[in-house]
């Protein structure tokens, strides 16, 4: 069995945990109120409490000041009364209308409507829309896995799904676990053999590493596909993409 490592390493000042049912404070059950916020970039629908932001979200960039930008940062066209300046809502750089004309959805910044982006950023945002339009729904629907916690020899069949607020993985079986995405240290997607017809390998499991609250020792959660291997593979592929977006948000 081979593995695809999505990311490894978690700073020593970043703690990771698994939350068990019955604890006094369960952040996953706290209502997530929303508010409409107007910024220079456009209308955004954001959580009332910033602590409840989606782990996939990105902060709005700081715009390059107009006085520091006399030419388009892509084609070098000089700005004048006719050629106006436009800021890309994703990177904050300054462009002419030709180089920053596309309006593309940007859910990672919670914009209500599509916003102006430069050519480079618009391509990135369009690729990310596949995750938000398709793969996110797969994660929310969940799939069934054989789950092993730590070094235990006991395996339990559990349904694993992403919470509606996108901040937790819920694992439900005879017992219940909640893993907060922002506290994960690494995700490895396991593959087994080849897909039907040959060619690329198919995801068959996942190794999730985390640090329990108050501990600096990493723990492991292992998920392996059970009967519906196709559905499990789709869920794992979506989780692999989610991990990449998660680490991008952490490192911004």
- Look at residue 6 and tell me if it is in a domain: no
**212 falls within a domain:** yes
Nearest to 150 by CA among 203, 215, 244: 215
Residues in the chain, overall count: 252
Cα(148)–Cα(160) distance, integer angstroms: 13
Q: What's the gap between Cα 205 and its chain centre? A: 19
Would residue 17 count as lying in a domain?
A: no
Q: Has residue 22 got a pLDDT over 80?
A: no
> In angstroms, what CA-CA distances link 167 with 89, 97, 164, 180?
25, 37, 8, 6
Asked if residues 139 and 132 have their Cβ atoms less than 8 Å apart, the reply is no
| Same domain? 101 vs 176 | no
Please indicate, yes or no, whether residues 42 and 95 belong to a single structural domain of this protein: yes
Q: What is the DSSP letter of 52?
A: G
What's the confidence (pLDDT) of residue 39? 85
Q: What does the pLDDT read at residue 26?
A: 45
The total number of structural domains that make up the chain: 2
212-to-14, 19, 92, 171 alpha-carbon distances in Å: 11, 9, 37, 16
Check whether residue 109 and residue 61 sit in a common domain: yes
Q: What contacts 59, CB < 8 A, 6 or more positions away?
A: 109, 252
Residue 37 DSSP SS3: strand
Is the model's pLDDT at 3 over the cut of 50?
Answer: no
Please give the residue range of the domain that contains residue 76. 34-133
126 in the same domain as 100: yes
Pair 153, 217 in one domain: yes
2, part of any domain: no
How does pLDDT run across 196-208, given as a tens digit for each residue? 555 568 899 999 9
| pLDDT tens profile 46-93 | 887 766 788 888 999 999 999 999 999 999 999 998 899 999 999 999
- 102-134 pLDDT per residue, tens: 999 999 999 999 999 999 999 999 999 999 999
123 shares its domain with 155: no
Reading phi first (left if > 0) and then psi (alpha if -120 to 50, else beta), residue 75 is in alpha
Tell which wins on pLDDT, 2 or 13: 2
Domain stops at, among 133, 152, 177: 133
Q: Are residues 108 and 160 in the same domain?
A: no
- pLDDT the model gives residue 200: 67
| pLDDT per position as a tens digit, 121-173 | 999 999 999 999 999 999 999 999 999 988 888 999 999 999 998 989 999 99
Q: What is the CATH number of the domain that holds 76?
A: 3.30.40.10
Domain with residue 186: its CATH number is 2.30.29.160
Query: According to the model, what pLDDT value does residue 24 have?
Result: 30
């Amino acid at each position: 069995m081979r593995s695809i490592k999505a990311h490894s390493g978690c700073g020593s000042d970043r703690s990771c945990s698994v939350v068990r049912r019955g604890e006094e404070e369960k952040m996953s059950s706290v209502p997530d109120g929303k508010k409409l916020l107007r910024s220079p970039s456009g209308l955004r629908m954001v959580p009332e409490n910033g602590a409840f932001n989606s782990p996939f979200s990105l902060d709005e960039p700081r715009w390059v000041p107009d006085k520091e930008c006399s030419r388009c940062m892509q084609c070098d066209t000089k700005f004048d009364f006719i050629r106006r300046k436009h800021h890309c809502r994703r990177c904050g750089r300054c462009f002419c209308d030709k180089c920053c004309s596309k309006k593309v959805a940007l859910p990672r910044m919670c914009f209500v409507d599509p916003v102006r982006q430069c050519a480079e950023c618009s391509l990135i945002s369009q690729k990310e829309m596949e995750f938000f339009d398709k793969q996110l729904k797969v994660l929310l629907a969940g799939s069934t896995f054989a789950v092993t916690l730590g070094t235990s020899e006991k395996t339990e069949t559990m349904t694993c799904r992403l919470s509606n607020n996108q901040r937790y993985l819920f694992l439900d079986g005879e017992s219940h676990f909640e893993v907060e995405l922002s506290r994960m240290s690494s995700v490895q997607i396991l593959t087994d053999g080849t897909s039907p017809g040959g060619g690329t390998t198919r995801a068959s499991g996942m190794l999730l590493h985390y640090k329990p609250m108050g501990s600096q020792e990493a723990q492991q959660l292992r998920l392996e596909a059970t009967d519906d291997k196709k559905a499990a593979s789709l869920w794992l592929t979506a989780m692999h993409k989610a991990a990449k977006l998660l680490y991008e948000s952490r490192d911004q």
